[in-house]
Structure 1
């Protein structure tokens, strides 16, 4: 049908195609920095890049969705909103996004704050999704604040059968951190910020286990 059987590997913005899985030299490498769209069309995955269009077919619909998710996420540095994946696959995608953001970011300096294990390099929307998909592993996480300012805490609780999600701003000050709410609370460290929410909720809020993905 005009298709060539190849193996593909994705590393950051480079999508490489190989004749055999053990090959070191790729047949072709696509620069996903040139990606305009990636869409499922007619049982295939169509990548539209600037000046080029590539059509891929994979063995199953689930695998196609995974490829679409990873390609879009690496190219745009955010997850697509219309993915139809199992929770475990979404978690893999979020973890890949976190690692890629760290890889592209600047090295952490000694002066950078020590972050608790429940800190995730995710956006507000990604934090909500992550807590929803990791029920039972924790319902509180720490993340970067909006517009690169400070930090934020995202929580998710089931109250009367309804999921209630809240976001709290955490500001950095000379002597520590301030949780911005109806009443401001000062903490000496980010770990203290997390523990404040645990104490304030009488234990109903618990930090998200960073090892959750290995159990899914």
Structure 2
């Protein structure tokens, strides 16, 4: 049975190596089961969405991708009924093939669907069932992808004599994004009269004020509660950059 806990991101050293190889900004990552048109069965990959390309790795620690899929010309994304209520299945319909994807749980499936549609349609889908912080991430990725495409279009062609020929190389610009707030979600369960933060080592506290105080102290003030203003705007200033385990 597949794990239901959100996967941890790849270590920073591996992230930097992949960044050099792909030369594309990372928008989302996680485990995916993938079945391409030439395959009879699903293959399990650690997958990164960089720009409008899915890069597939044998595991989370691999620095070299074993396959990739360009999805900029995505025709549609169709959801499929799954016999397993704990996972999500959908199909990417592309001009030359259809690719079936299966996620480890329904929440990650909704995230993958949201990020894929955001970068291919250049708009945040309205029908995704995500938390406010996750929706903010979609809007951030949308702005980054729009900027990336504008900068790419402004680049002069490096091989004018090969214009019109298909190419497997990327002509892209990677601008390091300035440090920005990150929003992390932590599950807090009400157990009797106490509250339990579901970490690798669960922490039980007597009330919600103690929960907030715990996050503030453990991260030295770097992790703070998400604030949603009454006028419907998301307040992101000063949000978390530190995670708990």
Query: TM-score, normalization: structure 2?
Result: 0.45
Three-state SS of the structure 2 residue aligned to 1:72 is helix
Q: Name 2:107's counterpart in structure 1.
A: 62
Going from structure 1 to structure 2, the CA distance change for 1:135 and 1:105 (only over 3 Å counts) comes to: same
Q: Which runs of 5+ in 1 are unaligned?
A: 108-132, 140-155, 157-206
Q: Name 1:18's counterpart in structure 2.
A: 57
Structure 1 residue runs of 4 or more that deviate by more than 6 Å after TM superposition: none
Q: Name 1:211's counterpart in structure 2.
A: 237
Deviation at 1:95, TM superposition (A): 1.1
C-alpha distance in 2 between matches for 1:46 and 1:208: 32
**1:28-56: CA deviation from partner (whole Å, max 9, x where unpaired):** 21111121111221230211111111111
Check whether the contact 2:78–2:92 (CA below 8 A) recurs between aligned residues. Answer: yes
Deviation at 1:99, TM superposition (A): 1.7
Three-state SS of the structure 2 residue aligned to 1:9 is strand
1:27 and 2:53 equivalent? no
Q: Name 2:116's counterpart in structure 1.
A: 71
Structure with bigger helix share is 1
**1:79-107: CA deviation from partner (whole Å, max 9, x where unpaired):** 11211111111111111111222222249
C-alpha distance in 2 between matches for 1:6 and 1:47: 16
Three-state SS of the structure 2 residue aligned to 1:16 is strand
Deviation at 1:15, TM superposition (A): 0.8
- What is the RMSD computed on CA atoms of the aligned residues? 2.7
Check whether the contact 1:70–1:93 (CA below 8 A) recurs between aligned residues. Answer: yes
Going from structure 1 to structure 2, the CA distance change for 1:2 and 1:102 (only over 3 Å counts) comes to: same
Deviation at 1:14, TM superposition (A): 0.8
Deviation at 1:76, TM superposition (A): 1.2
C-alpha distance in 2 between matches for 1:45 and 1:89: 20
Deviation at 1:208, TM superposition (A): 6.5
Q: Which runs of 5+ in 2 are unaligned?
A: 1-39, 83-88, 153-225
C-alpha distance in 2 between matches for 1:212 and 1:84: 25
C-alpha distance in 2 between matches for 1:40 and 1:9: 20
C-alpha distance in 2 between matches for 1:81 and 1:4: 30
Q: Name 1:51's counterpart in structure 2.
A: 96
